[in-house]
Amino acid sequence: MFFHKGISIGFLVLLCMEYEYYDHPHLVSAAEVLRCVEQEREALLRFKEGLVDDSGLLSSWGSEASKMECCKWKGVVCSNTNTAAHVMSLLLGFNDSDYLYFQPLGGKISDALLELHHLTNLDLSGNQFDDQFPEFIGSMKQLKHLNLQECFFNVTVPPQLGNLTNLQTLDLSLNSFWSESDNLNWLSHLSLLTRLDLSFSFDLSHTNWLQQILKLRSLQELYLDGSNIAGAIPSANYSFASLSTLDLSYNEFTSTTLDWLFNISTSLATLYMFHNNLDGSIPDVFGRLVFLEDLDLSGNMLEGGISKSLGNLSHLQTLSLSNNDFRGDLDELFKNLSTKVWMSLESLNLSYNQLIGSLLDLKAFPTLRNLYLGSNKFTGSMPESLSQHSVLEQLDVSFNLLEGTISEANLTKLYHLKRLDLSFNSLTLQIAQDWSPPFQLNYIRLGGCKMSLPHFPKWIQTQRNVEWLDLSYAGISDEVPKWLWSFSPALSSLNISHNQISGVIPDLSSTSIDMIDVSSNKFSGPVPLFPQNISSIQFSQNMFLGSISSICTVQSKYALLDFLDLSNNQLYGEIPTCWEKMSALEYLNLGDNSFWGEIPYTLGTLYNINSLHLRGNNLSGELPSTLKNGTELLFIDVGGNKLTGNIPEWIGANKYLMYVILSRNKFKGSIPPEICNLTYIRVLDLSRNHLSGEIPQCFNKFISLSEKTTATAIPGVAITYFPTLYEPLKQFEYAFVQWKGGEFEYRKILQHLRLIDLSSNRLMGSIPVSFSSMRGLVSLNLSRNLLKGTIISDIGQMEMLEVLDLSRNQLSGEIPISLAQLHFLAFLDLANNSLSGKIPTSTQLQSFNASFYAGNNELCGLPLKMCPEDVPSSSITIEGRKGIKKDGGIKSLSFLQGFGISMAFGFIVGFWGVIGSLFLKRSWRWYAYFNFLDEADDWLYKATVVPFRRFRRRN
């Protein structure tokens, strides 16, 4: 569920004040006993009939005697008048917290709501209704507040909405009103609007949005982020007199198209323009908005320093410049900042830039409460001024190059600290086990910081409000303390991965943990019970033992689990079948355990699965056909099992598959031609099976392998399963593949790998000519098959090829000259074929060991023996002698005779010296000796033939 950041606290407070104090002074909660109007109760029940409520969100609604009082129903707020209690508000908005217990409402919004004549506030946000926008809402003229955010509407907004002339707030964000025929003429009639949110719903590049919005003279808050607005906007004849908040993020504005901002409003206090196309220095127009208090320009391409105009914004309290291209040190960045700004700034975000030097001296910012400097290149130690900055609430200096020691003295005066992120620097925490901090943190990230002692930091036990705890890569070698699982009731994210922590994890089902990562430790015992609503479990690379039946406790109608990694443990038994209720799962890794039995067909109910790893187990049977339902699948690895049957044709129906690893199984039959439909395939590994038949001729359809770029975008597909808790630390995807003759694990650079491995099968026929079109392929392994014919002549077009293994086949003919054009080739194996002719000359081809050409009896040329046409005559013929010049001829002939006698004598001595040694020294192996002869042959050629030819040229 996406909760729009534009819904401000101020707005919510204003809304509550309005209902409680202004319009309805007699409002009471639904908990009081009131008699609602029968007509309105019946209208609400008819409204409920049109809805789909699978999780019982509206279970309190009903016609039973115990449920007759509609003012007690969920989401219903009534007034208390002298005559009747009318329904004034219907608040059925679905937010993130509701996912813990319910599912969004669906179905159709009934026009029975028209009978609620006193309804002034309607909130149906976050539900999943039918795509048709309910036009009848335009007749509910008494409405003052309408919230239809993220209701999955995807048709045009009816112009009847303009009839709601009493509306004060309107939220239509996160829908899909993207028709070019849309216009916003209806907006101009809503003259009382103070808050308007159209974010991520309209394509405003095709509408008259500005002209219509400018007519809303009472507007105070305007949210147009994600509306495809680009280019210069014409200057307006008049401005918003009261506009204080404007959100234009996620659009296409450039630095040269912003002058209109100053013309539209000079009273702006909050301006969000993150993720646009702003570049160069910060535009001066922002400095002309003299009442700005909150400015967010993150996610652009800005550089340089803070301009003089921006440095004079004396009311500025919050400044976010993260995710830009600012470089240099902070003194240079802030040189234009006025004293007034230094004194007023409360929150500063400079993370994800290229800043260097020392950290900020906080003495210059006496009111600064929030400081974010993560993901830069700051060096040195923590400044002393930081430890004296008692007003500091949030500190993030993660992912820098800081070093030194952090002790209690650095933290003792930070009384108000709530967030502490020192992760991934070269810092050491030297804090006493019995230290009692003066603060209560809710966010602790110390990943990558080394503990002065390898014990679990006990002072964390004093922090009772922690929601997020990261102690990964901390050098902890200790048994996990029992208090860790209960010290903070609010704990939702726990990461203690990549340490040497041991122990058994207890039952977690009653905790509030949402994400847990204990991977790469020494935990043992069974996999524990988890909370039903957990979303991410990382238990890989430990010593967990037994079955994983406990994972079935996670299944619930709420389906929140999206990441599960239990790989590299000692787990065994059959894989459970309880996957139907885990429909949110996107990443599943059970690899490198000892599971047996068949792959459960219920894995096919994981409709959102992106990545499935079952490698390295003892699974048998066939791939279940239900897996074809995983249309979002990008990565499947079932290598190293005992799977049988044919490679299913349906695997080619999933056109988004990028990594297919079926190696080291017992698959038989031919490679289905449907596999060529995998347009975006990057790694295809079918090696070490029992496949037969010919290689399909259609591999040229692989777009990702036909392009030389390292990445090919997939339209409309995004991998979403990386939890932000772990994303900065590592890539989750990995693959074991054959590379340069051995098996290697690819993890961090897997995205750059382009590989086809069909080795160790029984494939016949010739190498398809279409292979030459795969210009982006990095590794091709067809070894240990029954392939015949020649090596394709255009193999030199496979420009990116680094690994080529065609050994142990029945290939014949000459090695193509174009093979010498593969300048990136680092591994080549053509051994044990029937190749003939001369090895082409190139830097790469002559650098490989002769063993990679061995077993081709008619192959010659370096690094093998010389070809016959390159071997000189062993004697000089009579005709040759006649050709000797008379001038100096006797001298030359005498030289040749003497040279020949010396050479013969030397050869006899050398030959019997080696052979005699073989008789006397049995530990010498014959193959070593003949390797010596090969090398001696090369030496002899260079020592005799070459000088002889030079001699003849001189004479």
- 3-class DSSP string for 882-930: HCCCCCCHHHHHHHHHHHHHHHHHHHHHHHHHHHHHHHHCCCCCHHHHH
- List of E strands, 106-250: 106-107, 121-123, 128-129, 145-147, 169-171, 195-197, 221-223, 245-247
CA atoms within 13 A on the CB side of 251: 28
Per-residue pLDDT at 439 exceeds 70: yes
Q: Are 518 and 505 in contact (CB under 8 A)?
A: yes
pLDDT bucket at 133, cuts 50 / 70 / 90: confident
Q: Which helix (H) or strand (E) holds 14?
A: helix 9-17
Burial classification of residue 813, based on how many CB atoms lie within 10 Å of its CB (0-12 exposed, 13-18 middle, 19 or more buried): middle
Residues 6+ positions from 955 with CB-CB distance below 8 Å: 884, 885, 888, 892
Q: Which residues pair with 470 in a beta bridge?
A: 445, 495
Q: Does 51 score more than 90 pLDDT?
A: yes
pLDDT of residue 31: 46
Q: Kindly tell me if the per-residue pLDDT of 234 is higher than 70.
A: no
Rounded CA-CA distance 251/175 in Å is 17
The better pLDDT of the pair 331, 750 is held by 331
> Which of 563, 907, 616, 594 minimizes the C-alpha distance to 743?
616
Instruction: Kindly tell me if the per-residue pLDDT of 909 is higher than 60.
Output: no
The token pair that represents 472 in the structure block: 């990964």
Question: Could you give the CA distance from residue 597 to residue 599 in angstroms, rounded to a whole number?
Answer: 7
Partner residues linked to 739 by β-bridges: 742
In angstroms, the CA 583 to CA 605 distance is 7
Calculate the CA 82 to chain-centre distance. Answer: 59
Lowest mean pLDDT, pick from 26-35, 287-296, 605-614: 26-35
Q: Which one-letter DSSP state was computed for residue 503? A: E
Q: Read off the tokens for 225.
A: 């982020």
For the chain, give the number of residues: 955
Residue pointed to by tokens 């949402």: 514
Amino acid 522: pLDDT = 97
Is pLDDT above 90 for 266?
Answer: no
Backbone phi, then psi, for 931, in 5-degree steps?
Answer: -65, -40
Give the pLDDT score at 618: 98
Angle at alpha carbon of residue 746, lines to 670 and 616, rounded to 5°: 60
Kindly indicate the confidence band of residue 926, based on its pLDDT and cuts at 50, 70 and 90: very low
Q: Which residue has the higher pLDDT, 925 or 552?
A: 552
Reduced to 3 states, what is the DSSP secondary structure of residue 188? helix
Q: What CA–CA distance (Å, rounded) separates 612 from 134?
A: 41
Q: Which residues contact 489 (CB under 8 A, 6 or more apart)?
A: 464, 512
Residues in Cβ contact with 141 at an 8 Å cutoff, skipping those fewer than 6 apart: 163, 164, 165, 166
Does residue 720 carry a pLDDT above 70?
Answer: no
Distance from C-alpha of 589 to C-alpha of 736, rounded to nearest angstrom: 14
Q: What is the model's pLDDT at position 565?
A: 96
Tokens of 897: 């005779």
Question: Could you tell me if 174 and 94 are in contact, meaning their C-beta atoms sit under 8 angstroms apart?
Answer: no
Residues 6+ apart with CB under 8 A from 357: 328, 329, 330, 331, 378, 379, 380
pLDDT on residue 116 = 95
* Pair 545, 552: CB distance under 8 Å: no
The pLDDT of residue 934: 39
Structure tokens that stand for 273 in this block: 């323009």
* 800 CB-contact burial (10 Å; exposed 0-12 / middle 13-18 / buried 19+): buried
Confidence check: pLDDT of 463 > 60? yes
And the tokens for 420? 């502490």
Cα 401 from Cα 469, distance rounded (Å): 22
- pLDDT tops 70 at residue 154: yes
Q: Which two tokens stand for residue 319?
A: 């400044």
- Largest Cα span, the chain: 141
Any residues with CB less than 8 A from the CB of 2 and at least 6 apart, and which? 150, 174
Q: What are phi and psi of 311, to 5 degrees?
A: -70, -5
Residue 918: pLDDT above 90? Answer: no
Cβ distance 352 to 329 under 8 Å? no
Q: Greater confidence, 752 or 19?
A: 752
Residue 767 near residue 789 (C-beta atoms within 8 A): yes
Give 236's pLDDT tier (boundaries 50, 70, 90). Answer: low
Segment 279-293 mean pLDDT? 89
Query: Taking a C-beta distance cutoff of 8 angstroms, is the pair 674, 652 a contact?
Result: yes
Whether the link from the prior residue into 863 is cis, omega within 30° of 0, is yes
* CA dist., res. 187 & res. 383, Å (int): 53
Please name which of 300, 249, 304 lies closest in space to residue 279, comparing C-alpha atoms: 300
| Distance from C-alpha of 275 to C-alpha of 804, rounded to nearest angstrom | 43
User: Mapping DSSP to helix (H, G, I), strand (E, B) and coil, where does residue 667 land?
Assistant: coil
Asked whether residue 399 carries a pLDDT value surpassing 90, the answer given is yes
Inter-residue contact 504 to 523 (CB < 8 Å): yes
Residue 735: name the closest of 750, 721, 754, 720 by CA: 750
Write out pLDDT tens, residues 611-643: 999 999 999 999 999 999 988 899 999 999 999
> Which of the four pLDDT bands, split at 50, 70 and 90, describes residue 736?
low
874 pLDDT tier (thresholds 50, 70, 90) = low
Residue 99: band (very low, low, confident or very high) from pLDDT cuts 50, 70, 90: low
Q: How far is CA 389 from CA 243, 349, 412, 415, in A?
A: 35, 17, 10, 9
Cβ-based neighbour number of residue 50 at 10 Å: 16
For 169-179, what is the mean pLDDT? 85
Residue 878 has pLDDT above 80, yes or no: no
Task: Reply yes or no on whether the pLDDT at 353 is more than 60.
Answer: yes
Strand ranges of the sheet holding 812-814, from the earlier edge strand across to the other edge: 812-814, 834-838, 858-860
SS3 at position 186: helix
Confidence of residue 387 (pLDDT cuts 50, 70, 90): confident
pLDDT band at residue 832 using 50, 70 and 90 as cut-offs: very high
Of 569, 670, 680, nearest in space to 633 by CA: 680
Confidence of residue 496 (pLDDT cuts 50, 70, 90): very high
Q: What integer pLDDT is reported at residue 311 of this predicted model? A: 80
pLDDT score of 716 more than 50 = no
Tell me the C-alpha distance between 604 and 372, whole Å. Answer: 43
Residues sharing a CB contact under 8 Å with residue 317, sequence separation 6 or more, in sequence order: 293, 294, 344, 345, 346, 347
User: Is the confidence at residue 567, as pLDDT, over 90?
Assistant: yes
Q: Of the ranges 203-217, 783-797, 934-948, which is most confident?
A: 783-797
- Reported in sequence order, the residue ranges of 453-575 that DSSP labels E, i.e. its strands, are 468-470, 493-495, 502-504, 515-517, 522-525, 536-538, 543-546, 563-565, 570-574
Residue 13, SS3? helix
So what's the pLDDT on residue 148?
A: 94
pLDDT the model gives residue 759: 96
- The reported pLDDT for the residue numbered 940 is 37
> 886 vs 579, 882, 883, 900, 950, CA distance in Å?
97, 9, 9, 21, 19
- What residues pair up with 588 in beta bridges, in sequence order? 564, 612
Q: What is the DSSP string of 673-716?
A: GGGGG-TT--EEE--SSEEEEEPPTTGGG-HHHHSSSS----TT
Query: Going by C-beta distance under 8 Å and a sequence separation of 6 or more, which residues neighbour residue 507?
Result: 528, 529
If 0-12 CB within 10 Å is exposed, 13-18 middle and 19+ buried, where does residue 748 land?
exposed
Q: Answer yes or no: is pLDDT of 141 > 50.
A: yes
- For residue 592, the model assigns a pLDDT of 96
**Confidence band, pLDDT 50/70/90 cuts, at residue 943:** very low
pLDDT at 859: 94
Q: What is the mean pLDDT of residues 250-271?
A: 85
Lowest mean pLDDT across 276-280, 705-709, 778-782, 801-805: 705-709
Indicate if the pLDDT at residue 575 is higher than 90: yes
